[in-house]
Amino acid sequence: MTMRSHWSIAVSGLCLMLMPGMAQALQPGTYRCSSYNVSGGGGSCRNFQPLVLNPDGSYRYSSTKGQWQVRDGRLVLSKSSLWGPGEILGQDTIRFDYEYRGWRHVVSWTCRDCASARVVGDSPGPRGATRKGDAVGVSLTLRFDRSVGGVSGFVIVPAESASRYARNAPLPEGAVQGLAREAGPSAVTLETSRDNKLTSGRRYVVFLSWPRETLPVAILDLPSTDGDYTATLPARLDMPVSAPPATQPRN
């Protein structure tokens, strides 16, 4: 895979578009831009206005107001003439993929306040020590021996299913996905939550996604922990799915 240099392109005055239909797969809340990629190069979106999805079906982006709906797993907005429908990656993550002035833009949005939201009627389980097989949240830093750029997301797949996983394929049972963030030229960070249902005491393969490809990059041996798990893992872009056991992560 050819790594491209980072781009710094600002896009302002974006309007948002709608299609009919409604579903409850996406949490209302305030979504902020978390990843911005232009034709394969990473860019900054720290100055983007938040996208606010209200529980009553209305939305706001900057001065634009309209109605939001979900159809066939995609978010559609009533006043968009540019972004088009957004792909829903999870209950709190959206990605828009569109062309603008000859450049391909891939913009991801996440709602940090939504990540811990539970479905109404879903009561939390009892507190206590986490045992093997319990759901845990995971925070990972992936460190490469070379520069990486343009990362847009991650998929964590149980090791026994990893060899059968391919880009844009349905998630295997027990897998989770979300947004990945560049923490430097050769470091990527990612987070899950307890609601993502990664189970402790199990081995996983971590995949990273770019706009045109998804690669296995690291092995996660998730221990039987007594709480959410944080680790730094060695990662590589040419890792086979059948890679040998990972070295002990640095907590």
Quick: pLDDT tens for 160-182.
999 888 877 788 888 888 888 88
Token pair for 132: 């093997």
Residue 60 confidence (pLDDT): 92
* Nearest C-alpha neighbor of 83 from the set 107, 47, 64, 63: 107
**Coil/strand/helix, residue 194:** helix
Six token digits for residue 30 = 């305030």
The predicted pLDDT at position 142 comes to 93
Task: Choose among 110, 83, 101: nearest CA to 26.
Answer: 110
The candidate with the shortest Cα–Cα distance to 188, out of 245, 239, 237, is 237
Q: Cβ distance 203 to 216 under 8 Å?
A: no
Amino acid letter, residue 112: R
The ranges of the chain with pLDDT < 70 are: 1-25, 39-44, 46, 113, 115-133, 193-197, 225-226, 241-251
Predicted model pTM: 0.49
CA distance 93 to 181: 13
Q: Which residue has the tokens 């990656």?
A: 89
- CA 81 to CA 79: how far, in whole Å? 7
* Token code pair at residue 24: 């409850």
**Widest CA span in the chain:** 54
**Distant-in-sequence, close-in-space partners of 204: CB < 8 Å, separation ≥ 6:** 156, 157, 158, 159, 162, 198, 219, 220, 222
Compute the C-alpha angle 67/71/74, nearest 5°.
90
Judging by DSSP bridges, how do beta strands 229-234 and 213-222 pair with one another?
Answer: unpaired
